[in-house]
Structure 1
Amino acid sequence: MTDTELQKRVEEISSAFFNRPFLHKAYFNVRLRTTGGRYVLRTHNIELNPKHYEMFGMEELDGIIKHELCHYHLHITGRGYKHRDADFKVLLGKVGGSRYCQSVKPVVKKQNQYALVCHSCDMRYLRKRRMDTKKYVCGRCRGKLVLYQLEEENE
């Protein structure tokens, strides 16, 4: 989908669900990472994350467009346009916009990369960051620690 097709889609949704025209610009912004879209207060433009369209399709994109159009129309008319405002919640429920968008990135937990092993009691300490073993001793027996780098598991 191109920016011109997106602009047309936003104008169609605005007139169909809000009975008001969308008079500003709507476009994809590839720099958006954690959000599905953004309504810019100063310019009244709407920026949308293209990854949501690519991963989840038109239905998800329409929900995000309705959400951003709620911000837009409420701000233009001088009513409560923020997420916490009652006007916003009522209008969002009325038009069927999405309150939250789906997550684009899978949550990746950083694996432990290092192991500190005590020479005396064989106690293991797993760490994500490298440590200077000269400054620290074992918490159990006060023995000397040795640093090992763990091998990465390839999936």
Structure 2
Amino acid sequence: MNQEELQKLVEEISLKYFHAPFRHEVKINNRMTTTGGRYFLNDHHIDINGHFLDEKYRADLIGIIKHELTHYHLHLAGRGYQHRKCDFKNLLAYVGGSRYTPDIGLRRRQTRNYLYECENCHFQYPRVRRVNTRKYRCGRCGGRLELIRKNK
């Protein structure tokens, strides 16, 4: 799906479910990893995650578009467009949009660079960041922690 097809799809969904036209631009953003789309308050354009444009994610894409259009139409109407507002929740449920973006495996994995072990019970604690072993103790038995492995 290219930019023009996406623009046409968003305009069709806006008319069909919201009974109001979408008069702004839709852009494809391939850099997104944790979100399906984004609505911009200042110029009212919508970014859609390019990874969801594949045909196998068609149902997810429509749910994401409905979610972003809910932000769009409520913001232009001067009503509660934020996730926590009742107006947003009610309209999103009415049109059948997705509340959360499905995980399709794009999230970055954090590497556990440090491995600590308790001296008493030998319980291991993998950590991304260094731990001050003078200040922190084992959560199970209160024993001292010892640095076992450092990957950096």
Normalised TM-score (structure 2): 0.73
**Bigger radius of gyration among the two:** 1
Q: Does 1:11 align with 2:11?
A: yes
For the residue of structure 1 that corresponds to 2:27, the secondary structure is strand
Match of 1:42 in 2: 42
SS of 1:64 mapped into structure 2 = helix
Q: How does 1:18-97 map to 2 (within 5 A)?
A: 18-54=18-54, 56-97=56-97
Which segment is superposed worse, 60-69 or 43-52? 43-52
Q: Is the 8 A contact 1:115 1:149 kept in 2?
A: no
Relative distance call for 1:146 and 1:67 in structure 2 (3 A) is closer
Change (3 A) 1:85 1:125: closer
Which amino acid in structure 1 is aligned with residue 94 of structure 2? K
* 8 Å contact from structure 1 (residues 114, 130) kept in 2: no
Residues 124 and 74 from structure 1, CA distance in 2 versus in 1: closer, same or farther, beyond 3 angstroms?
closer
Any idea what SS the aligned residue of 1:34 has?
A: coil
Q: Provide closer, same or farther for how the CA distance between residues 130 and 92 of structure 1 changes in structure 2, counting only shifts above 3 A.
A: closer
Could you say what the CA RMSD is over the residues aligned between the two structures, in angstroms? 3.6
Cα distance in 1, alignment partners of residues 75 and 130 from structure 2: 50
1:57 counterpart SS class: helix
Classify 1:112/1:13 alpha carbon distance in 2 versus 1 (closer, same or farther; 3 Å): same
One-letter amino acid of the counterpart of residue 59, structure 1: A
Aligned residue for 1:153? none
Is contact 1:70–1:81 with CA below 8 Å preserved after alignment? yes
Question: Aligned pair count?
Answer: 143
Q: Which amino acid aligns with 2:5?
A: E
Deviations 1:2-49 (A, max 9, x none): 011100000000011111000000111112221110000001001011
Deviations 1:44-75 (A, max 9, x none): 00101111333851110000000000000111
Q: Distance in 2 between matches of 1:34 and 1:50?
A: 12
Q: Tell me, which stretches of 5 or more residues in structure 2 are unaligned?
A: 132-142
